[in-house]
Amino acid sequence: MISSCGPSETEKTDSEKEKTCTYTYDHQSSVMGWTAFKFIDRTEVPGTFTRIIVKDGGAMSDAKRLIQSLSFSIPIATIETQNPERDAKIAKYFFGTTAIETITGNVKELKDNGMVILEITMNDITKNVTGTYTLEDGDFALEATIDVADWNLLTGLQALDKACSSLHKDPNGASKVWSDVELSFKTTLHADCE
């Protein structure tokens, strides 16, 4: 008769054990970008905000839950297009027409199909915005498109177009600034894994 003194199941080696991670939001890795369009052929005007104030729900073991806890506030004075004259005109004519000082919002939901729902407030109007996202190994990226008309900002857009009309004319002499704006946000969560 043969007997065994050890456990019947083989113990997992350290490399086979699942890692447990705690995620925290990293302000330094975050970039908020946008792309507006001018001319009939929709020439891109890319930009960023150099400051975004993000609040989160604290350290979490679930990266998705942490992203869903994010809320943000963006001072419009931090707009950056690599053209100081353009930045001043956007602040004065587009945002200044309605006295917007900040854009606020939050991540409402990350769906399993890669869709994200944001809540964005500008000009005292709050709207839900649907976009797409990826979240892999703590790297989060989202993209969404808004129409500034949804926040009653066409007056500001028209004021900006008028102030920049000599710069916004295409070869046919037509001036055009589009009301849709593409948004992007990227961040890398800090992961502390055991």
Asked if the structure places residue 64 within a domain, the reply is yes
Q: Cβ distance 51 to 78 under 8 Å? A: yes
Task: Give the largest Cα separation in the chain, rounded.
Answer: 98
Work out how many domains the chain is built from and give that number. 1
Confidence of residue 1 (pLDDT cuts 50, 70, 90): very low
Asked if the structure places residue 142 within a domain, the reply is yes
Asked if the structure places residue 14 within a domain, the reply is no
Q: What pLDDT is attached to residue 48?
A: 97
Amino acid at 92: K
Round the CA-based radius of gyration of the chain to a whole number and report it: 23
Asked if the structure places residue 124 within a domain, the reply is yes
CATH of the domain at 120: 2.40.128.110
Element (H, E) at 48: strand 43-49
Share of the chain above pLDDT 70, in %: 89
Does residue 96 surpass a pLDDT of 80?
Answer: yes
Reference 139, options 30, 47, 20; nearest CA is: 30
Asked if the structure places residue 15 within a domain, the reply is no
Asked if the structure places residue 125 within a domain, the reply is yes
Asked if the structure places residue 133 within a domain, the reply is yes
Residue 71's domain comprises 21-34+44-90+101-151+178-189
Asked which of 3-12, 106-115, 132-141 is least confident by mean pLDDT, the reply is 3-12
Confidence of residue 13 (pLDDT cuts 50, 70, 90): low
